[in-house]
Structure 1
Amino acid sequence: MSTIQTQKCPIDGDHLQRASDYLAQFGITHFFYGITTKVMIPSLHQFKKLRRRLPQEMIRAKCGVYSSDAILTFRHHYLQHFAATDEPYFNKHPLGLSVWQDPDLNGSKGEQFARLLEEYQIRSRGVWHLPIRQHPDWLAAFVFFSDQDRQTLLENLTANEADIGHHLALYAALFNEQCISQLNPIANFSCLSERALAILRLTAEGNSSEEVAEQLSLTESGVNYHLDRIKELLNARNRAQLISMAHTMGLLD
C-alpha cells in the first residue's frame, strides 16, 4: 500500500466522539468529513480537478475529519484500488441524504472489494451533502458507513432525516470553523501553488505588487500575472473582492 498522504484535521476529540455517538444510534459506525464541490459546469470557480473528483486526485487530500484511524485507512485503500470501478462513487448524489446502492462484487476485483468491506465490517455506505456558508459552489460531505444492510440503514436514516440533517449542519459548521484553512478544497487538493498563495497572503497584508515582487524575488509583472490568474479562477471582479473571497474561503487566515 502506498503511503497515506491525508492527515487528520486537529478537531477536538470530544467533538468527534459526540458526533460518532450521535450517528451510531442510527446505525452509522464510521464517517469522514470534508468539503467537496458541486459537480456542474460552469462552476463558480474553475478548478477542473475539483469537478472531476477522480480517485487518483482525491486520494491526495491533505486533510480530513475522520471518526477513526481505521476509516482513514479504508478510504485510502478504496480510492487507490476500487473507486475507479465503483459506479456509486461517480453518481451525482443529491443535496441531503444519499444511501449508495450496493457495489458490484462480481469477478476477482469484486471479491477483493468484498474482503475489504468485510475487514472493516462495512455493509452499506452513503453520503450526506449540505450547503455551507464559505462558498455557494461548495458542499459539506459526510461520507458514512454502516454494519447494517442498505435497506435497514436507509429506513433508519429516512425516519430521522430532518433531525440528522440539522445535527450534521451544526457539526459541519463546527468543523469548518476550526479547520477551514485546511478543509477548503482549493488548499486541500493543492489547486494553487505555494507561490501563488504566498503572493495572495502578502497582497492581503497590504503590500504592493512591487513590494511582493521584492520579497519573493519575482518580477512585478510576474506577481500581477499570478494575481490576475487567481482572480480569474475565483471569478473575482477585482483584487479587493479577491482578498475578501480568499478570507471567507479559508485561503487566508
Structure 2
Amino acid sequence: MEMRRAPSYLLLLVVAAASRLVPAAAGDDGGWSKGTATFYGGGDASGTMGGACGYGNLYWSGYGTDTAALSSPLFDDGASCGQCFTVTCDAASSQWCLKGKSVTVTATNLCPPNYALSGDEGGWCNPPRRHLDMAQPAFLQIAQCKGGIVPVLYQRTPCMKQGGVRFTMAGSNYFVLVLITNVAGTGSVKAVWVKGSNTDRMPMSRNWGANWQSLAGLTGQALTFGVTNTDGKTVVVTDVVPAWWKFGQSFTSGVQFSS
C-alpha cells in the first residue's frame, strides 16, 4: 500500500482539467471492450448536473462536461463513481462515427434500466448491456447526434486531476456524511476511515454514490481521513478538516493519488 501524509489544509473550489488520451486502433488488443453510447443533457450539459454519484454541480465539483451515466453493470452500485473511461466510436460498425476521435469521460451518474422497453428497442441501459449515456458535448467529440445510439469501444484509463482529494461535509450533529471528489488515479474509492481529534480511528461506509458516512458526532473536531482507492492505494490526509468546519464546506490539501 502507498501511504502519504499532509499536515496542512485549504478551503477551495477547483475546476479540474479534463484529460485526453488517444486510443489504440480498434483492432489492437489494448484492453478495449465493446459497448454502446447515447447522449443526454443538451449542448451545455446542464441536464447532467446532480446524479447518482452525488457530485452535484459538475462544473463546481471539477468534472465539467466530459461525463457519462453508466448502465448498472458498469456502475456497480456506485463503486465506479469517479472512474475515467476513454471512449471511441466504432467506425467500422456505424456511419455516424467520427473516425479516429476519442474522448475521456468521468462516471458521474447511473443510467437506470427501463424494463418497459427491450434492450434492442430503447432499453439501452438494461442489464446486461454495457452502455454509456454521455453528456452531449462529450458524445459530439466521437459521433454525430443524428446517430442516436452508436457502437463504441471503451477502456478504463487513469484520471488526471489538479489539486488534492476533496472532502465536502454534510450530515447532522449525530452523523457525518462526506462527499469525496477530485480523486486521481483510479478515480474511484474503495474504503475510507476517519479520525477526529477527540476520537479513535473508525471505518466509514458508502451511503450512496461517492458519499461516505460515519455514525458518530464529529462536529467541533479536526478530522483526518484515510482514503483507499480501487487499486488498493491509500492516502492519509491529516487534519484536512479543521475543528471549525461547518456543514456544506469543502476542504482539500496537496495529497493526491498517483496516476
Please, what TM-score do these two structures have when normalized by structure 1?
0.27
Larger RCO: Structure 1 or Structure 2 (Cα < 8 Å, ≥ 6 residues apart)? 2
Normalized per residue, the structure richer in strand is 2
Larger Rg: 1
Normalized per residue, the structure richer in helix is 1
